[in-house]
Structures are given as C-alpha cells and as structure tokens.
Amino acid sequence: MATTATATKTRKPATAKAKAPAQPKRTRRVGARYFKVKGVEIYQQLKTKAHGDVYPNPNQPRKHFDREALNELAGSIRENNLLQPVTITPEGMIIAGERRWRACAIAEVLEVGCLETGCVDGSPVPDSIIMALAMLENLARKDMTPMEEAKGYQYMLDEGFFDSKKDLAKFLGKEVFRISERLELLQLCTEAQEAFNRGDLSRLQAAYMAQVIEPAKQQKMWDMIRTGKIDNNHDTLKRTVAVLNTPEVEQAGMLFDLEDPAVVARWLKLDGKVTGAAQALTAIALAPDQLNELTEARCAELLASLAGVMEAAAMLKRQVSDVQIRHLAQ
C-alpha cells in the first residue's frame, strides 16, 4: 500500500511593522470648509458672535470709512439683516468686513454673523494669511483707493510676509506690474499723493512723477502739472522726467541756444541737407523722363540724404523740447 506524505507548511516569523508617527487629530467642524494657503490648512465656519467680542485688526491698511456710506449700510442691515458675514479669527479679530461690523454698531445689532477662519491644527493664523485674506476682500471693493492698496502691499513686503513682489502678485492673482504700479505711488511727495487721491493727478502723470529721483525736482514737476505747464501727454511726461533726472552739469550742454556756434552749425547743416534733398527730388519731379535713368547709386544717395535730414531734425527737436521743459521747471 502506498503511503501519502503530508506536506507541512513552515510559517515565517511575523515581522513587526514600524508604526507611523502619530498625526494630530483633525477636529471636524460641522458645515466648515477647508483649504490650504501657503501650505497651511485653514478652515472657515459660520458662527454668531456678540458684537463686543469682535474687534478690528490694528494693521488694517484701510483707515478711512465714509460716514454717509456707513449710515446707508446700517439702514440696509436694519431692513435685511447682515447679508455677508464678517471674517474673523477664532479670537475675534476682524480679517475682512470691518465696514460691515461698524455699520452693525450704528444699527445697534447685538450679534454679528461671522465667518470664523482659523488653522486646523489650532495654531494662530499667520499674519501673512490674515493680511492676504483682508486684502483680497478689500481689493474687490470699488471704494478702496489705489494709495490704500499701495500701503497694504508695502506693509506685507516690509514685514516679510512675501519674499518678493512676484510672490505677492501670485498669491493675490495679479500681474507683477500692477503691484509695481501701486508701489510707485508711495514714491510721490505728500502733496502729489493727496492730489492723486482727489483725482487731480492722473495715473499716467503719477507713474512718471514717481520716476523723478530728487524730491525737490519731483515737487517742480508737480508744480508744472498743477499749473498746466505740461499736459497728460505720454511723450511730454517722459521728456520731462528725463530732463529733471539729468545732472545739472549735463543739462548745460543740452540747452538750445541760437547764440551757440555749434547749434548754429547744426541748423546750417540741416538746412543744407533739406535744400539738397529738395532740389534733387524737385529735379526728378520736373523731369519724369529721367526716372528710368535714375541709377541705384543715386537712389541710395538720396535715401541717405533724407535719413540724415530726419536724424538732424529729431536731434534738434529733442533739444528744443528739453530747453522748453527746463524753462518751465525754473
């Protein structure tokens, strides 16, 4: 009788699995939404807070609130309640919505609808995120002045919330040149900043004025704009900035003076080129039958002569423009 051998399986000794490091427990909040900002996990949850438990952010870039507009908003809140909640930290500091919070006080609202915004791990909300969220809401408002935007951007950069204008622009969803345009406004003298806020200084004028290096010369340019000596023309503003930024020693050589022999020589040279070109073209026009005999060399000669005329004319035009600007700035 054949016997059947029963195979016995040898079990391998179990190896202990390495335990993963304990992760902090994430408290699930009913109705909350979650998102990440610069790698930090943030939650937002609707809550109701006593008006007195909510307070403004001392670093809020927006300082001016129109009283009439606040009264109108307070009337709307009395009729329809607060439609958009105030964004706050878990401690009650306002991130966005201070205008609504102030209007609630006028309307004598005791409890305010809030959107509590905090870090999932319970740590304080970073200042960079607070500023960015506040800026995002304020930038969506039409009544925030460009100067307030500029001060907000500068604050975030000065405090190191962002490493560069590029990082700031990316976070806010804007082009870098838009951020630069706003920051340039802070280079204006105080009088010009106030004029810009009033609308007496255009954005184009403000952008060029900010490029003037010396404060005293920038004040001169503002006086020229204010008194109507220079207009809102791109080329005029560009030339004005170039002249005002040129050292005084170099400016002396730029002045257009008919008593200067060198300038007179330029005029005579220009007159000669214009006369010669005009005579040549007139001869061709008066003798159409000679067009077939016009050689390639003669064409090149005429073109070179005309190019010289244009170059000389442009040079003298720049000198005339510079001296006019210098006289206006005096």
State pLDDT tens for residues 104-139.
999 999 999 999 999 999 999 988 888 777 776 766
Among 105-109, 180-184, 249-253, 314-318, whose mean pLDDT is lowest? 249-253
The average confidence (pLDDT) of the chain is: 77
What is the rounded distance in angstroms from the CA atom of residue 73 to the CA atom of residue 106? 9
Write the pLDDT tens digit of every residue in 189-245.
888 888 998 889 998 999 899 999 888 889 888 988 888 888 888 888 888 888 888
What is the rounded distance in angstroms from the CA atom of residue 116 to the CA atom of residue 84? 13
Three-state DSSP state, 42: strand
103 exposed, middle or buried (CB, 10 Å; 0-12, 13-18, 19+)?
buried
Three-state DSSP state, 179: helix
Write the pLDDT tens digit of every residue in 2-50.
444 444 445 555 555 555 555 555 566 778 888 777 678 889 999 999 9
For the stretch 41-46, contacts whose Cβ atoms lie closer than 8 Å and that sit 24 or more positions apart, written own/partner, are 41/119, 41/120, 41/121, 42/117, 42/118, 42/119, 42/120, 42/125, 42/129, 43/117, 43/118, 43/119, 43/120, 44/87, 44/115, 44/116, 44/117, 45/115, 45/116, 46/85, 46/113, 46/114, 46/115, 46/116
Side-chain-side CA neighbours of 195 within 13 Å: the count stands at: 18
CATH number of 33-144: 3.90.1530.30
Is the pTM higher than 0.85?
no
Write the pLDDT tens digit of every residue in 286-315.
455 555 555 666 666 666 766 666 666 666
The answer to whether 62 and 141 have CB atoms below 8 angstroms apart is no
**Can you give the pLDDT at residue 73?**
92
